[in-house]
Amino acid sequence: MKILTFIISLFSCLAIPFFALANEETLQGKVYDAIVNPVLQAKCVSCHGQDKDKGKLRMHTKTELIKGGRGAGSAIIVKGDIDESELIFRITLPKDDEEAMPPMEDESHYNPVTSQELSVLQSWIRLGASFDMLIKDLDDVGKKAAEHVLKNLPVKKLSATALLIPKLPEVAPANKVIVEELKAKGVLVMPIAQNTNALYVNASYTGKSFDDESIKMLLPLAPQLVWLNLARTSVTDSGMELISKLFLLERLHAENTDLGDKSSIKISKLTNLKYLNMYGTKISDVSINNFQKLQKLEKVFLWQTNVTENGADSLRKSFIDPSLYSSLSDQKRSLETEKGKIANKYSSEITNLEDEVSSVSKNTSDASPINEKCPVSNKNTDKIITSNFEGRKIGFCCETCKSKFVKDGASFRSKLGKFQASTEFENALSKLTSKRLDMDNELERIGAELRNVSRQLSSLGPQINLGWTASK
């Protein structure tokens, strides 16, 4: 027992200097390298870095950071003064402020500077913002915050917008000789975007001169070829055997070619295909089973082909959970039925109220016209020539003016001075307006639900374009 106690005591004595040493080594790190730069990289550089300089400000290097941007200039960091440093000002603004940094696009992708990270930045700037300053040289508040940050280093979080930007393929450069040979043949060859070797090849400009034999020229580009346009060329079903070897292909334009159902067998081998345009070809529902194998397919054009609506529906269903599709379809039908019932329910009630408003408008308790000047001609009225409007008796100078007013009394209301409809008319109109509002509110409620369900249905599976169909 004494031996065990001795060992524990000995270990404790040894451990204290060890942990103290570990902590001392941590504090020997430079503030900028260990904390400031990781914070900037995680939360600022996506908008202010090598690839993007929002506000002409880059923060990915020490030199660029000190240089500042278009607005603040070198005041982005004012050594010794956190109040004048634009960096501190921007990151301490309320998150809903337009100038707050980092900006908030939505809650799930918001990645603000934490209170501990802010404390380190403030301490670092207050003490001179030296790139060589050690963590141990920070003030007590900054040092304590630094210990927390080092244990919880910031992680870069992509914004909602950045997540929508497709990731560019990382591939080796293409064979320049092959590229030049294709260009000499009139084929367009270019990168699909900046900063990538992935290629877009467009042979549609060459027309019928580009045939199955020409496709052989594309094979050496298989490691780079991502988008291919063969529209209006003379490629055939046989040529698709070679196309199926372009394993990176994500987009294929084959519109207005002689391709038929046999081509779909080869196309189904393009497992990365997301976009397929078969407009104006000879394919039919026979091809649907093959297209169902393209599990990454997002959009397909089948306009002016022999593919039927049933075939297109079968293609869509193969990409989605049948139970979900059925459930959403049932909801859509139910909501459409309910919408019809609501419209029918209010239709008769509103018609009755409209009749009541019309009836009240034609009756009045006025013994004589309320106006001295004709609302149409502005001449003196003839007390005998009158008409009732919104429960009031209106006088006119002649039958012609009366006829014009009866056709569209509302357009002449302003000519009646401070016109006031009868109490009976206003009450009837109020009931009609209220009933119409009730109907609109119920229809909008159902309409919002219906739009939501329809949106979910349309998002299931690939977008399939069969062209315009006649309204039913």
Query: Which tens digits make up the pLDDT trace of 207-225?
Result: 999 999 999 999 999 999 9
- Average pLDDT of the residues of the chain: 85
Tens of pLDDT, residues 251-277: 999 999 999 999 999 999 999 999 999
459 Cβ neighbours under 8 A, 6+ residues apart: none
Token duo for residue 319 = 């990409």
pLDDT beyond 50 at 14: no
Amino acid at 323: S
Calculate mean pLDDT across residues 407-433.
92
**Nearest to residue 319, comparing CAs of 129, 440, 464, 159?**
464
pLDDT beyond 50 at 10: no
Query: Domains of the chain: which residue ranges?
Result: 25-164, 176-319, 326-458
462 Cβ neighbours under 8 A, 6+ residues apart: 297, 298, 299, 300, 315, 316, 319
| 3-class secondary-structure state, position 223 | coil
In CATH, which superfamily holds the domain spanning 176-319?
Ribonuclease Inhibitor (3.80.10.10)
Token duo for residue 169 = 């393929």
376/387 Cα distance (integer angstroms): 13
Tens of pLDDT, residues 69-126: 766 566 788 888 888 888 888 888 777 676 778 876 655 567 788 889 988 889 898 8
**Nearest to residue 213, comparing CAs of 234, 197, 186?**
234
Count of beta carbons in the 10 Å neighbourhood of residue 137: 17
Regarding predicted confidence, which is higher, 170 or 220? Answer: 220
At CA 121, angle to CA 117 and CA 122, rounded to 5?
Answer: 115
pLDDT in the model for residue 151? 87
Calculate mean pLDDT across residues 124-135.
90
Calculate mean pLDDT across residues 440-453.
90
* pLDDT classification of 421: cutoffs 50, 70, 90: very high
432 Cβ neighbours under 8 A, 6+ residues apart: 350, 353, 354, 356, 357
- Environment class of 199 (CB within 10 Å of its CB; exposed 0-12, middle 13-18, buried 19+): buried
Looking at the chain, how many residues does it have? 472
Calculate mean pLDDT across residues 283-288.
96
Calculate mean pLDDT across residues 291-299.
92
pLDDT in the model for residue 225? 96
**Nearest to residue 372, comparing CAs of 397, 390, 343, 348?**
397
